[in-house]
Amino acid sequence: MTRHIAILGSTGSIGTQALEVVRAHSEQFVVEVLTAGRNADLLIAQALEFRPNAVAIADESQLGKVKDALWPHDIKVYAGNDAIAQLVEMDSIHIVLTALVGFAGLAPTMRAIEAGKHIAIANKETLVVAGELVTKAAARKNVALLPVDSEHSAIFQCLTGEGNNPIEKLILTASGGPFRGYTAEKLASVTLEQALKHPNWTMGAKITIDSASMMNKGLEVIEAKWLFEVGVDQIDVVVHPQSVVHSGVQFQDGSIIAQLGVPDMKLPIQYALGYPQRLQNEFPRFSFMDYPELTFEQPDTKAFRNLQLAYDAIAEGGSAPCILNAANEIAVAAFLEKKVGFTQMSAVIEEALAAIPAVQKPSLEALFEIDAQAREAARNAIKQS
C-alpha cells in the first residue's frame, strides 16, 4: 500500500534524509505535507520536487516568499506553529514523521495522535516531556509510535517477534561523542567548534551538542522508558565508540539480541516509514572485517553530569523531565551563542530543576506552563553565571 506521509521538520537533518528515502521509494510513499522552521529556500525546493498537498513554515515572516514561489504550482502554503499542528489532521495522511527539534514537536504530535495518524517519532523531546500522556493517547487511538532514533529503532527491531517475552534489561549504546574520556576539568575548556564535530554521526547543531554533553543519551533513557514500558532501573547505558551496535535487549533468560549496522540514519527512518516491511535499499552494508574491534565502556556520569541529571529527573517523575528538557534547550542555545561554557550547561539545568517543584501527573496544558517557567529559570541562571 502506498503511504501518504507528512514530514514535520523536512529541512533538518532527519527530514532531508527522510526525503532521500522517499525519493528512492517513490512507489511506496507520497508526500502530503512538508513543514520547516525558517529555511524557506530549501522548503520551496523540496515542495517543487515532491509536490505535496500543502506546506507550512513556522517563521510567519517567510509566508509571502514561500507562497509566491509555490502558488503557481497549486501547493497550499501556511505559516505558524498553529498551522503546522492543524495540517497533521488532514484525512489523506497515513503517517506523520515528527522531525522537529525540541518542545515544538509536542503539540503537532498530540494533534496527529488524536487524529488517528501513526507516528514515526524522531522528536524525542515529545516523549521526554509528556511520555505518559502521549503513550496513553496513542493506545486509546490505536496509533503506532514507531521510533526513528537509531537506538530506539534498534530496540524496536530486537523486540519484533518476541511477543510477550519479558524484558530484563534494555541496553542503550552511546558513542561517547567527541569528548569520551575527558575529565570534568578538561570539559570546562571545550570550545563550540570542538563540540560540533561528532566523530560518527552527522546531525543538527542542537542534537550534536546534546550528544557531546551526553544529554542526548539521558533524553533517550527517558524516551525508552515510555516507548517500551520498562522501569528506568531496567535501562543501561553503555559507551560504544564505534557506533555499530545500535542497542540491544536482554530477556529474562539472559539472552541478548542486538541490532548492528553502519552509522546511517536513513536505515531507521526507512524502517519506521515502511514498517512492518523491510524495503530494499542501496545503503552501505556493514562488514565485520571493517570493524575488527568493538569496544564497550561504562559512562562517566560525574564528568558528564547531564546523563545523571536525566536519570534523576525521570526518577523524580511528573514534570521533572519537562523542566530538564526546557532548561537544556535554553542552555544549548546559549552555548551555541557562546554565552556559556560547555560545563555551565549542566549548572543551568540543575538550577532550573532546583527552582521549580515537580508536579506529579501534570495535564498537557500544565506542561506548557511548566515549560515556560523552566525556560525563564534557565535564562535567569545564565544571566547570573
Cell numbers found for residue 155: 530496540
| Neighbour count for residue 197 (Cβ, 10 Å) | 10
Q: What is the CATH number of the domain that holds 326?
A: 1.10.1740.10
For helices 215-228 and 150-159, the axis angle rounded to 10 degrees is: 30
Residue 329 domain-assigned (yes or no): yes
Q: pLDDT at residue 200 above 80?
A: no
Share of the chain above pLDDT 70, in %: 99
- Does residue 270 sit within a domain? no
Neighbours of 90 (CB within 10 A): 17
Instruction: Dig out the grid coordinates for 192 from the structure.
Output: 563550540
Burial of 330 (0-12, 13-18, 19+ CB in 10 A): buried
- Percentage of the chain surpassing pLDDT 90? 95
User: What is the domain range of residue 58?
Assistant: 3-147
198 pLDDT above the threshold of 90: no
Question: How far is it, in rounded angstroms, from Cα 8 to Cα 66?
Answer: 16
Residue 355 and residue 297 share a domain: yes
Residue 187 sits in the same domain as residue 301? yes
Residue 110 is placed in which grid cell?
498530540
What nine digits make up the cell of 352? 532550573
Same domain, residue pair 240 and 319 = yes
- Domain co-membership, 360 together with 344: yes
Considering the domain architecture, whether residues 157 and 142 belong to the same structural domain is answered as no
pLDDT of residue 199: 76
| 127/190 same-domain check | no
**Is the model's pLDDT at 69 over the cut of 90?**
yes
Residues 6+ apart with CB under 8 A from 40: 57, 59, 62, 65, 66
The answer as to whether 304 is a domain residue is yes
CA distance 65 to 40: 7
Shared domain for 257 and 338, answered yes or no, is yes
138-148 confidence digits (pLDDT tens):
999 999 999 99
pTM assigned to the model: 0.94
- Do 217 and 337 share a domain, yes or no? yes
- Pairing relation of β-strands 167-174 and 145-147? unpaired
If one counts every other C-beta atom within 10 angstroms of the C-beta of residue 309, the result is 21
Looking at the structure, tell me whether residues 200 and 227 fall in a common domain: yes
21 vs 23: CA distance, rounded Å: 5
Q: Does residue 253 sit in the same domain as residue 105?
A: no
Say whether both 225 and 297 belong to one domain: yes
Q: Considering the chain, what is the average pLDDT of its residues?
A: 96
Mean pLDDT within 70-98: 96
Tell me, yes or no, whether 272 lies in a domain.
no
Q: Find out whether 248 and 176 touch, Cβ atoms under 8 Å.
A: no
* pLDDT for 204: 82
Q: Which of 156, 164, 165 has the alpha carbon at shortest distance from 274?
A: 156
Q: Is the pLDDT of residue 378 over 90?
A: yes
Sign of CA dihedral 158, 159, 165, 171: positive
| pLDDT tier for residue 201 given thresholds of 50, 70 and 90 | low
Residue 284 resides in a domain: no
What does the pLDDT look like over 240-259, one tens digit per residue?
999 999 999 999 999 999 99
pLDDT tens-digit series, residues 2-38:
999 999 999 999 999 999 999 999 999 999 999 999 9
Residue 53: pLDDT band by 50, 70, 90 thresholds? very high
* Phi, then psi, of 66 in degrees rounded to 5: -70, -40
Whether residue 277 is contained in a domain is answered as: no
Is 274 a member of any domain? Answer: no
Give the chain's domain count.
Answer: 2
